Amino acid sequence: AQTVTQSQPEMSVQEAETVTLSCTYDTSESNYYLFWYKQPPSRQMILVIRQEAYKQQNATENRFSVNFQKAAKSFSLKISDSQLGDTAMYFCAFMGLSGYALNFGKGTSLLVTP
């Protein structure tokens, strides 16, 4: 079974600064997908970014980018120019060959301060 580890339970960053959230995973599969989901206080799960393991290029979505290191099984999320609206719980998730089930990490609570 795949496991996803987020080693930072809580993080804090000042507005306009950059923050990196860590995620590592364990799998024996060679092809898979990785995701970062954001959960604001509203509880809604929102997809932030997605990475396909067979693609070498790191995914980016506006202020959000990932550092995908396949050999190290690491998938960190960088948030640039942090905004107050980025305050949320962030979950790293793995999808393997099943194609349907997401394995989630325990989450990192991010607080953006003025």
Partner 1 sequence: NAGVTQTPKFQVLKTGQSMTLQCAQDMNHEYMSWYRQDPGMGLRLIHYSVGAGITDQGEVPNGYNVSRSTTEDFPLRLLSAAPSQTSVYFCASSYRDFYEQYFGPGTRLTVT
Residues that bind partner 1 (CB under 8 A): 4, 33, 35, 42-45, 47, 50, 91, 93, 95, 98-102, 104-107
Measure the CA–CA gap between 84 and 106, rounded to whole angstroms.
22
**Smallest distance, partner 1 to C-beta of residue 77, A:** 15
Query: Which residue shows structure tokens 């996803």?
Result: 4
Are 70 and 79 within 8 A, CB to CB? Answer: no
Closer CB to partner 1, residue 11 or residue 45?
45
- Residue 10 or 17: the one with the smaller Cβ distance to partner 1 is 10
